[in-house]
Structure 1
Amino acid sequence: MNNIKSKWVYLFVLSVIWGSSFILIKKSLLGLTPYQLGALRIIITGLFLFAMGFKTIKTIKISDWKWIIISGLLGSLIPAFFFAIAETEIDSAVVSILNSLVPLNTILLGFAVFKIASTKRQILGVIIGFIGTAILIFKGAHLNPNQNYLYAIFVILSTLMYAANVNIIKKYLQHVKPLTIATGNFVAIIIPAIIILLFTDFFSAQTFENPEFKMAMVYITILSFFGTAMAKILFNKLVHMSTPVFASSVTFVMPIVALMWGFLDGEVFSLLQGVASVIILLGVYLSHKKQSKQG
């Protein structure tokens, strides 16, 4: 019973943290380029994680490092850049909505690649949640006709990577502690991030003279600590205590939080989007309600 309650607490906290990440990316882009943002997010997060869990690195077995590295690339490094690039053209709330494809992709990849079974109820819940997400997408497109939805491909590719990552953690890294996985991820990806940052004009006078630069650094630091470092640990813990589908369903609730932030930032929130949000929550509930013994 305690474990069941804990799963929902983790889901709620992650939804608030990650749902707020999209507005933080949007604000950070006012003073940083997408590549600077992505690189700084990895570097700052890595420093936080190293301070908390560097001593745990020695517990990682040599045979696990392959999956740790792949997990870092798919779950953190590449999406950090892809989401920043996407938000240069697409509204932050819409990006969060597109991110809701993760649970669907988790089930598809889990079944097709990782041989992880999903129940009929889980599939039904994901489909219902996806319907709610589709309504949000189409309504968002109607309210924002000037946005370039070709950039949605960056988000869709990221959802595939996130789905692969959650299945990798569940199947190959179940025995590794959440903090250890997160720290190992960033040991593997912080050097590439530093190299990318060096190839941007981050250290130029033009960057520092940007009036939005200081606040952008505040936003990216908050994003790195809460939206990446702490969230990665919580997410890995959630994967360990639940199923890949349950853990990935955090992306169903995130758009609701992101839409609220968008509304406060002057973005339009319609009644239909509110209805779609309720449909999403219904999908989350159904996908994790236990099957009856008869079923």
Structure 2
Amino acid sequence: MNKQQQKWLYLVVLSLVWGSSFILMKKALIGLTPIQLGAFRVIITALFLLLIGFKKLKNIQKKHWKWVLLSALLGTFFPAFLYAFAIKGIDSSIASILNSITPFNALWIGAAFFSFSFKKSQLIGILIGLVGTVTLIMQGADLNPDQNYWYALLPILSSIGYAFNVNIIKKYLQDLDALAITTGNFILIIVPAILVLVFTDFFTEFQLNSETKSALGYIFVLAILGTGVAKILFNKLIQISSPVFSTSVTYLIPIVAVMWGIVDGEKLSLIQLLAGIIILIGVYLVNKKK
């Protein structure tokens, strides 16, 4: 299988896995707090990666570690908590659609901070996508008055972190194996994740019951497949493609996530669907070649 076929295969697999991650987070939050969800997701993934990728750590040189740390914080640690809080406040399908602005951020951040090329015509795509994003948030606030749509800012912040992450990997970690990068990421953030649990009194207040058992099961699947395996595939995708192409997975993710949301009884109006389509059109224009 050549690189062209590989990158499209990775894109489809990641869209299915990450598209299902939003409903898993929603279900896990029935028994756990957003802080606990974010911390457990990091800890379980780190333990899994230690088992399969510990030997790869020797490939990480001293010059790499600062970039591995930045990649870990911006691309994994903070988004794990931001998305947990977001899905506690708004529908999981809406959070997934907002995630699709990541390619826009990857484009302008790549140009502004990493000296990657930027076509002026792509600005049209960015502006179209922003119109769709604002429409989606405003319509969601009207449709679900009981939900606090300030939480919609959290997926947007996460997308900025993801955008920095892909550009860091593409520019500074291109010579590292994808498993080495992913394992290095989680080795650096497992201790902060444990400390988060300690300082939120988890170990003294947590009670094991039917809800928390189910929540831990959802987190286990989310951590192993949705974070551990998916992160390895994503880091590999970044290396064999461009930052903008790799983040294009975010406009396939909502298709899967919205289907799960509808199955779970979430409301989605026609205007919201149109806003989502507008965002996808914008992303398509950003990715379109001359």
| TM-score when normalising by structure 2 | 0.91
Percent sequence identity is: 56
Counterpart of 1:218 in structure 2 is 217
Unmatched 5+ stretches in structure 1: none
Partner deviation per Cα, 1:121-161 (whole Å, 9 max, x = no partner): 54444444444444433333332122112223332222221
Counterpart of 2:11 in structure 1 is 11
In structure 2, relative to structure 1, the CA distance for the partners of 1:58 and 1:17 (3 Å cut) is same
Residues of 2 paired with 1:242 and 1:129: CA distance?
Answer: 22
C-alpha contact 2:137 2:152 (8 A) present in aligned 1:
no
Partner deviation per Cα, 1:32-88 (whole Å, 9 max, x = no partner): 111111110000001111112110000111110010011111111111111112222
Residues of 2 paired with 1:127 and 1:235: CA distance?
Answer: 26
**For 1:243-254, what aligned pairs fall within 5 Å after superposition?**
243-254=242-253
Counterpart of 2:238 in structure 1 is 239
Counterpart of 1:288 in structure 2 is 287
Counterpart of 2:38 in structure 1 is 38
Cα distance, 1:253 vs structure 2: 2.3
State the one-letter code of the partner of 1:188.
Answer: L
- Calculate the aligned-residue CA RMSD, in Å: 2.1
**For 1:114-193, what aligned pairs fall within 5 Å after superposition?**
114-120=114-120, 122-193=122-193
C-alpha contact 2:100 2:280 (8 A) present in aligned 1:
no
Counterpart of 2:259 in structure 1 is 260
Residues of 2 paired with 1:233 and 1:30: CA distance?
Answer: 28
Cα distance, 1:256 vs structure 2: 2.2
Counterpart of 2:229 in structure 1 is 230
Residues of 1 paired with 2:143 and 2:244: CA distance?
Answer: 31
Residues of 2 paired with 1:135 and 1:76: CA distance?
Answer: 28
Counterpart of 2:100 in structure 1 is 100
Counterpart of 1:27 in structure 2 is 27
Counterpart secondary structure, 2:210: coil
Cα distance, 1:270 vs structure 2: 3.1
C-alpha contact 2:101 2:129 (8 A) present in aligned 1:
no
Unmatched 5+ stretches in structure 2: none
Q: Which shifted more, 74-83 or 244-253?
A: 244-253
Residues of 2 paired with 1:7 and 1:118: CA distance?
Answer: 22
In structure 2, relative to structure 1, the CA distance for the partners of 1:27 and 1:154 (3 Å cut) is same
Residues of 2 paired with 1:15 and 1:8: CA distance?
Answer: 11
Residues of 2 paired with 1:139 and 1:8: CA distance?
Answer: 33
Cα distance, 1:265 vs structure 2: 0.3
Aligned residues: 290
Residues of 2 paired with 1:253 and 1:19: CA distance?
Answer: 8
Cα distance, 1:203 vs structure 2: 3.0
Cα distance, 1:278 vs structure 2: 4.1
In structure 2, relative to structure 1, the CA distance for the partners of 1:22 and 1:269 (3 Å cut) is same
Q: Which shifted more, 86-95 or 233-242?
A: 86-95
Residues of 1 paired with 2:218 and 2:113: CA distance?
Answer: 37
The reply to whether residue 109 of structure 1 matches residue 109 of structure 2 is yes
Counterpart secondary structure, 2:206: helix
The reply to whether residue 200 of structure 1 matches residue 165 of structure 2 is no
Residues of 2 paired with 1:170 and 1:247: CA distance?
Answer: 10
Residues of 2 paired with 1:87 and 1:93: CA distance?
Answer: 9
Residues of 1 paired with 2:22 and 2:148: CA distance?
Answer: 17
Residues of 2 paired with 1:257 and 1:139: CA distance?
Answer: 21
State the one-letter code of the partner of 1:88.
Answer: K
State the one-letter code of the partner of 1:212.
Answer: E
C-alpha contact 2:44 2:224 (8 A) present in aligned 1:
yes
Cα distance, 1:120 vs structure 2: 4.0
